[in-house]
Amino acid sequence: MPKRSAQKTQVSPLVGHIFFAGGSGLAVTFLFLLFSAWLFTKTQLPAWSAVPLATAAVSLGCFISGHVLSRRVGQNGLFCGLCCGVCFYLLYLLAALLNGQFDYSALAGIKLVCYVLSGCIGGFLGILAYEKAKHPARH
């Protein structure tokens, strides 16, 4: 019986890029939510401003995630940003379902648009930054 050499299973570098970009977006979202919580304790913000601040925090995370992913991949910036926005929205839907919220409201649709749009803008700007770093003499 022939000996089989130990084969190493290599994970695609794309998977590493995806996890790094997702972690970056989640970290930025967490920091902005932390800042928002601090802002609520130090000022007299009305309670209704919590939802827009949380949406802005996740949108910023989508932007950063799309920017990082498209810059690391180096192509398809809008698609990378779109995927980041959709993933963050699916996380939002999962959290809402786990919380017992089964109805789809207009606010959920607005959040979908905000997350996808900010992810796409981040992906587009990430490709511009990648091209600028790749070809510094042209810019």
The yes-or-no verdict on residue 1 having pLDDT over 60 is no
User: Domain for residue 2, yes or no?
Assistant: no
Reported residue count of the chain is 139
User: Domain for residue 127, yes or no?
Assistant: yes
Rounded to whole angstroms, the Cα distance separating 94 from 48 reads 23
User: Domain for residue 130, yes or no?
Assistant: yes
What pLDDT was estimated at residue 30?
97
Residues 6+ apart with CB under 8 A from 26: 61, 65
User: Domain for residue 5, yes or no?
Assistant: no
pLDDT tens for 2-53 read 555 555 556 688 888 999 999 999 999 999 999 999 998 999 889 899 999 9
User: Domain for residue 139, yes or no?
Assistant: no
CA dihedral 26, 30, 35, 41 (to 10 degrees): 150
Q: Are 122 and 67 in contact (CB under 8 A)?
A: yes
The yes-or-no verdict on residue 60 having pLDDT over 90 is yes
User: Domain for residue 1, yes or no?
Assistant: no
With pLDDT > 90 as the criterion, what percentage of the chain qualifies?
Answer: 63
Rounded mean pLDDT of 110-121? 95
Largest CA distance in the chain: 76
What pLDDT was estimated at residue 11?
64
Domain residues for the domain of 39 are 15-134
Number of domains in the chain: 1
What pLDDT was estimated at residue 9?
57
Q: Are 32 and 56 in contact (CB under 8 A)?
A: yes
User: Domain for residue 3, yes or no?
Assistant: no
pLDDT tens for 70-107 read 999 988 899 999 999 999 999 999 998 998 887 788 88
Provide DSSP, 46-110: -GGGHHHHHHHHHHHHHHHHHHHHHHHH-S-HHHHHHHHHHHHHHHHHHHHHHTT-----HHHHH
